[in-house]
Structure 1
Amino acid sequence: MRSFMTVSKHFRRILDTSLRKCYSGNSEHAELSRIRNIGISAHIDSGKTTLTERVLFYTGRISSMHEVRGKDQVGATMDFMELERQRGITIQSAATYASWKDNVINIIDTPGHIDFTIEVERSLRVLDGAILVLCAVRGVQSQTFTVNRQMNRYKVPRIAFVNKLDRTGADPERVLSQLRSKLHYNAALLHLPIGLESENKGIIDIIDNKALYFKGDFGEEVIESDVPSDMASLVEMRRDELIDAVANVDEKLCDIYLSDQTPSPPELRSAIRRAVISRTFIPVLMGSALKNKGIQPLLDAVVHYLPNPSEVVNYAIDSSSSDDSTVVMNPSRDNKLPFVGLAFKLEAGKFGQLTYIRVYQGFIKRGDWMTNTRTKKKVRISRLARMHSDEMEDINEAMAGDICAFFGVECASGDTFTAVSSPPYTMESIHVPDPVISLSIKPQNKWDLEKFSKGLARFQKEDPTFRIHFEKESKETIMSGMGELHLEIYTERMRTEYDCPCITGKPKVAFREYITTPVSFDYQHKKQTGGAGQYGRIIGQLIPLTGDELTDLQFEDVTIGMNIPKHFVPAIEKGFLEICDEGFITGHKAVGMLMRLEDGASHSVDSSELAFRLAARGAVRTAFLQGNPVILEPIMTVEVVAPQEYERAVMSGLSKRGAVITGTEASEDYFTLFTRVPLNNMFGYASELRAKTQGKGEFSMEYCKYDVAPAFVQAELVKQYQDELQAKSKH
C-alpha cells in the first residue's frame, strides 16, 4: 500500500460541503444532539493513530493518508511531535474535529503506553464517549485493563472496535470471549468478518443483515450486498445473541423480545443506544484500519450509540455552600446560564501557553473575562481556537459541549474556569497517579543551565506525573515519572526542543515505608529558652491501612473538649504529613497510616501552632519505629509477547528477576506471558528480551500495587541510608 494517498477531487468536494454544513463557520451553530466528544484508547500498537488517520480521511478532514512511522517523511496527522514520528508511538494526546453525516465529532487520540497514562486520564475526564480499540490477534492486553479502569472511573460509555482483521492469527471470536471473561463486559458482535487475515474481504452488518465491501483506491466506496449464503445461519445466530444480550439490560427491547416479536433495525439500534449510554452493554464492531475496512460503519456507530453532551450528567461542586453541595451542569446551547469550563491539558507553544478546555455550561466569547476558581484570579480570553492536531482554527465563541483552546492564560491542569459573576463552581479533579521511578539529571554543558531550568519547568507544568525536586544533600536535580520511557522521552525533548543535552543518573525506585502493627503514642514537646516557650502534648495512635488505602496518609481528630484547642489541630496534621514525607528508616516516604488524635494538653502561654507541629513530628517519629516497620516496593504487571520457540528462555529470564507468573496464552506461533515483577528488578529488561528473542519479543509494563520488599532488599536500603547519614555527620 502506498504511504501517501490522495482522495479524488469529487470525493473531497462532497466532504468539504458536509463539514461546512455542519459548522456553518462556527461551532455554536451545531445542534447539541449532533455533537459527539469521543476518545480513541487502547493498548500500545493496537492501531489507534492509524484508525484516527482513516477517520479524518473519510470525514474529509484531511485529503491524504500517511502511515504512523512516517516512511514518506510525513507521518500520521495526530503524531505531530518529531519524537512520535521517529519512534512510531503516540506520546501526547492530540485533539481534532470532523463531521460525519451532519454530525460534529470532536476526537482525542491518546497514547497507548502506560508511561503516558496521564494523557489518557485527563482526556477521558472530559469526554462523553470512547472507542476501545483491540487487536484481533492479541485481544485484551495489559494496558487494556488500565484504559478500562480509567473509563470506569469517569463513567465513560464505550463501543469496542476489533482492529487488524488482516493480521495473521486474527481471531475476533477470541477477542469477544476475552471482553466477556476478562473485562466482564455484557458484549455482543454487531459485525462479522467476511474472511480473515489475507482473505478478509469485508464485514457483515448483523443488524441490517447486509454484507459491506470497501472499494475504491482507499476504501472510500461502501458497497452493500446480500450476505454470503454460507454465512446466513451464523448471522442469524449472532443476531439472536445480540438481541438477547441487549434485552437483558433494556426493558423496551425485553418487552418486544418476550412478546415473540422480531425487533426492527431502528428498534434494535435505539435499544443498543440506551444500553451503551447506561453502560450496561458494549457493542463490538470490527475492521482493519490499515486496509481501509470497517471505518465508515464505525463512524455510523459513534453517531448511533455514543451520547451527545446533553445525555451525560456532569456535576460541579459549589464552593460557596457550607457543605460543598454538588450542582448539575446544564449543557443547553440556548440558555443564559453562566460559563463553566475545565482546563484539562496544557501545552507551551510558540504563541505562549495553550490551554485545552471543555465547556460544560454556558458559553464564552473572545474578549470575555472569566475566573479561575482555584486561584480566584480574573483572566481575559484574547484568542479562542479549535484544534486540529497542532493546527488551529480561530473561533469567536465556544458553547456547552465544545472542546477548544485558548492562549496566554496562566493555570494548571484540572483548573475550573467560570464566568466572573458565577458562583465558585469547581469540576471534579483529574486523577493523577504517583510517579514510580526517579533519575538524577543535569545539563551536559554548564552554560545551558537557563535552558535546562526553563525546559524542566515547562514539562512539569504540562505533565502532572512528571515531578522535579532538588536534593540539597547530594546537590542533584531529581526527575520522577511513570517509567523509564517516560523519563527518557523528556530527556530527549530537552535535547531536541531546547538544544540542551542532558546526563542522567541511575534509576531510583520509589520505595515506601510502612508500619505493620498499630502503635499508641503519648508525646510531649517542651522547650523553655526564656520568655514564651514551646509546649504541646498529643496522645493517640498510628494505625496501618490496607488494601487500596495502602499508599494513603490519613488523619482523624477524635478529641473531645478543649485539651487541645481546635485551631491547633491543622498544625498537628501538617507535622504528621511533613515527617512522613521525610521517611524514618530509609529516607523514603512513609505511607499507609492513619494518625488518630485522641487527647493531649496545651499551655495558655507556651502552646502555639509551631509547638504542636513539632510535637506531631516527634510523636510520629517515635511511634513509627515501634510499629514493626517494613519497606514496600512497587510491583509491576508485565506482559511479554514472543515467538513460541523462545518461551523457555523468556520464562527463565523473568524467574531470575523475581517474577510471579499469573497466566499464559498461546496464539498461532506466539505466546503471551502475564507476570508480576518488582520494578527494582526490571531495569535493563528491554535489552535482555531483545537478546533472548532475536529482537522478536516485546513487553509492556504498568504499575500494579505496593508490596513488602524481600528482607535482603530492606536490609540493603537501611544500610545505605545509615551510611548516608554517617557521611553527612562527618561533614
Structure 2
Amino acid sequence: MTLEQEIAKRRTFAIISHPDAGKTTLTEKFLLFGGAIKTAGAVKQNKIRKTATSDFMEIEKQRGISVATSVMGFEYKGMKINILDTPGHKDFAEDTYRTLTAVDSVILVVDSVKGVEEQTERLMEVCRMRSTPVIIFVNKMDREGQNPFELLDELEQKLRIDVLPLTWPISQGQNFRGVYNLYRGQLNLFEPDQTRITEHYIEIKGIDDPELERWIPSAFRDQLREDAELIEGVYDPFSVERYLDGSLAPVFFGSAVNNFGVREMLETFLEIAPSPHEREASERVVRASETALTGFVFKIHANLDPNHRDRTAFFKICSGTFERNKFYHHTRLGKKMRFANPTQFMANEKNLIDNAWPGDVVGLYDNGNLKIGDTLTEGEELRFRGIPSFSPEIFKEVINRDPFKAKQLEKGLRQLTEEGVAQLFLQYGNRKIIGTVGELQFDVIRFRLEHEYGASCDFMPLRYFKAFWITGTDTPQYEEFLRRKSPVIAEDKEGHPVFFAESQWMLDVAKENYPGVIFHETSEFKTKDEG
C-alpha cells in the first residue's frame, strides 16, 4: 500500500468532555464496534463496575475517572482509527490541551441532562483556536434531560459554533424510542443493552414513509415529523467544507452506555472526518504526504506496565513512514536515535510494530532523552509548535517523609513532572516546589510516588498567586530583579528562571518597577528562543 493510501485510511481523533458525560464509555463502544474488545465495562455514577479498558492506571480504577490520556487503535471497515481518550477532570486540562495538538478532529460528548458544562466550554476554546473539526454526541438520551431544541441553542451559544443535527431523538427518558437518521433517512429503534451491539435498523424512504406507522406510536411519529420539518426550515443543509474548517458541528443523539446511536456517528465520522494533513512547524508547514519522516512527542508516561519500570514517549507521526531500528534526528539534542521496540496501543496492551504512518501514535521506549514537544526527523531541523506548559496556580513544597528513599523520590518527581502531570521548580538548597492547576494532581503524584517508586512525601501549601517565566530586555535591570527577588525566584526543570508572584498587586508593582523584565504565562517563549 502506498503512503497516500495509508494516509487516506487513517482517522486520528480525541474524545473530550466534562467529567462523567460518558466519554470513556463512548470510547469503549467504538472499540466494541471495531472488534477490539468483546464486552465493555459500564461506567456509572463515577464508579467503575468493570474496569474501563482505557483507564489503566490504578488510581483511575479506584476513583473511576480518567487522569491520563489513553491511546487506542483499531480497524473498522478497512479504516485505521486512532482514538485518544483524554482526561475529563479540569485539574488535568493541560494534558488534554497537549493531546489536542496530536489529533486531526474531535468528538465532543455532552450530557443531555446537564447540557454544556464549564470544562466543555474550555475544551471547545482550544478546538476553536486550532480550527479543529468537531462532532458533538449528545449522550444519555435514555434519561430525562433537556429539550433537544433548547440543547441545540445552548450548544451554539456557549460553544460559539454553528450546529446541525444529523440524527434526531424520538422522545427521551423512559419514553425514548430511538433515533431517526436525518442524514441517511434511516430509523434506529432503541433496545437497551450495555454489553452487545443490538441496533435495530429500519430502512424507510424518508420521514413521510407510511412504514413509520408500523414501528412508532402515532404521538411520537407526529412529533418526529414536526421536528424534522422544523429542522429543515431552521438549519442550513449540511456542509462538509464548513465542518472541516471548524465552523459547523454535526450533532448526534444516543445512549453510549447502551451502545445506542453510536454506529450512526462512527460511520458518518469515517465518511466526513479528515485524514492526516499538513502541520505547522516553526520553520515551515509539513505535509503528511512528504516521504521523509517527521513527528513530535506530545506525552510521556512512566510505568505503563507495572511489571517493568518503563518510560514511554507518545510520538505523533506527521509525515513519512516510521521504521523500526532506523536512525532519526533528535532536533533538540542534535543527535541520532533509533528505536528497537516501537509499540502501538490498545489501551494498556502494547504491540511491537515495524512500521507506522502519518496519523499514527507510536510508543517509543525512552531512557530520558525525550521530552514533551521534542521533534524527530530524518535530518531536517524542525520544531513543531503549540505544546507549551501553562502557568500553574497552586504551589506546594515537597517534604520527604523517608530520608532513606531520597533517590526514589528524586526519580519519581523528575519522571512524573516530565510526563506533564505537574511542574517542578527548584530553589536554593535543593528546595522542591510543585506547581499544578488543580488539587487532584497532588493526590495523583502522592499515589504514584508511593505505588510506583516506593517513595512517600507530604506537600506544604505555599501562598503564591501565580508563576511566570521571566526574560529581560534590559540586562542590568533583569539581573537586579533576579538578585532582589531571589526568595521568590526558582528554576524550572530546564534551568529557566521563574518568578512566584505573591499577589496580583505584587505582580503589578514588579512590572511597574522593572519594565525591562518580561513576564510569560506559558513556556511557549522558550520554543521561539531555542528554535
Pairwise CA distance, 1:170: 4.2
Q: Is the 8 A contact 1:128 1:308 kept in 2?
A: yes
> Helix, strand or coil for the counterpart of 2:282?
strand
> In the aligned structure 2, how far is the partner of 1:39 from the partner of 1:573?
45
Q: Are 2:446 and 1:491 equivalent residues in the alignment? A: yes
- Residue 227 of structure 2: aligned partner: 234
Q: What's the CA shift for 1:73? A: 6.8
The equivalent residue for 2:314 is 356
- Between the two proteins, what is the percent identity of the paired residues? 26
The structure that has the greater radius of gyration is 1
SS for the counterpart of 2:398 is strand
2:297 matched to 1:340? no
Task: Give the deviation of 1:130 after TM superposition.
Answer: 0.3
Residue of 238, 252, 256 corresponding to 1:285: 252
Q: Structure 1 residues 581, 297: closer, same or farther in 2, change over 3 A?
A: farther
SS in 2 for 1:235: helix
Q: 2:201 aligns with which of 205, 221, 224?
A: 224
- Per mean C-alpha deviation after superposition, the further-off stretch among 443-452 and 299-308 is 443-452
Question: Which residue identity lines up with residue 453 of structure 2 in the other structure?
Answer: Y
The answer to whether the 8 A contact 1:436-1:509 is kept is no
1:304-383 matches, cutoff 5 A: 304-310=271-277, 313-318=278-283, 326=284, 328-332=285-289, 337-349=291-303, 350=308, 352-383=310-341
Distance 1:171 1:66, change over 3 A: same
Q: What's the counterpart of residue 417 of structure 1?
A: 376
1: CA distance between counterparts of 2:161 and 2:502?
38
Which residue of 70, 89, 94 corresponds with 1:113?
89
In the alignment, structure 1 residue 477 sits paired with structure 2 residue 432: yes
Correspondent of 2:11 among 36, 44, 49: 36
Q: Structure 1's 590 and 300: CA in aligned 2 closer, same or farther, altered over 3 A?
A: same
- 2:322 touches 2:355 (CA, 8 Å); kept in 1? yes
Change (3 A) 1:393 1:622: closer
Alpha-carbon contact 2:398-2:434 (below 8 Å) kept: yes
Change (3 A) 1:489 1:590: closer
Match of 1:130 among 106, 124, 148: 106
Tell me the distance in 2 between the aligned counterparts of 1:103 and 1:387: 16
Among 11, 28, 42, the residue aligned to 1:53: 28
* Aligned-partner SS, 2:51: coil
Label 1:284 to 1:433 Cα distance change in 2 as closer, same or farther (>3 A).
same
1:212 correspondence with 2:188: yes
In structure 1, how many angstroms separate the alpha carbons of the residues matched to 2:47 and 2:160? 39
Give unmatched runs, 5+ long, in structure 1. 1-23, 247-267, 319-325, 514-550, 557-568, 594-619, 635-731
How far has the Cα of 1:577 moved from its partner? 6.9
The residue type paired with residue 235 of structure 1 is A
TM-fit CA distance, 1:625: 8.5
The equivalent of 1:257 in structure 2 is none
Aligned to 1:575: 479
Instruction: State which of 132, 149, 160 in structure 2 corresponds to 1:173.
Output: 149
Asked if 1:624 corresponds to 2:513, the answer is: yes
Of residues 385, 392, 405 in structure 1, which corresponds to 2:363?
A: 405
Deviation, structure 1 residue 222 = 2.7
Q: Name the residue aligned to 1:88.
A: 64
In structure 2, what is the Cα distance between the partners aligned to 1:80 and 1:340?
Answer: 29
Task: Mark the CA change 1:625 to 1:368 in structure 2 (over 3 Å): closer, same or farther.
Answer: closer
SS in 2 for 1:469: strand
* 198-207 or 138-147, larger mean C-alpha shift: 198-207
TM-score normalized with structure 1 length: 0.61
Q: Is the 8 A contact 2:39 2:196 kept in 1?
A: no
Equivalent residue, structure 2, for 1:20: none
Distance 2:324 2:309 in 1: 16
Q: 2: CA distance between counterparts of 1:172 and 1:49?
A: 23
| Distance (whole Å) between structure 2 residues aligned to residue 170 and residue 81 of structure 1 | 34
**Distance apart, 1:62 and its partner CA:** 0.6
CA distance in 2, matches of 1:133, 1:189: 14
Which residue, out of 141, 151, 157, partners 2:127? 151
Q: Partners of 1:63 and 1:584 in 2: how far apart?
A: 55
- Residues paired across the two proteins, number: 484
TM-fit CA distance, 1:351: 5.7
Q: Does 1:395 align with 2:395?
A: no
Of stretches 288-297 and 226-235 in structure 1, the one that deviates more from structure 2 is: 226-235
Partner of 1:712: none
Give CA-to-partner distance per residue, 1:220-266, whole Å, 9 cap, x none: 13322354431223213213434x2x4xxxxxxxxxxxxxxxxxxxx
SS in 2 for 1:64: coil
Report which stretch shifted further, 483-492 or 121-130. Answer: 483-492
Contact 2:134 2:243 in 1 (8 A): yes
**Equivalences for residues 12-23 of structure 1 within 5 A:** none
Superposed displacement of residue 93, structure 1: 0.4
Q: State the superposition RMSD in angstroms.
A: 3.3
Q: Kindly indicate whether the alpha-carbon contact (under 8 Å) linking 1:125 and 1:430 is maintained by their aligned counterparts in 2.
A: yes
| Highest RCO, 1 vs 2 (Cα 8 Å, sep ≥ 6) | 2
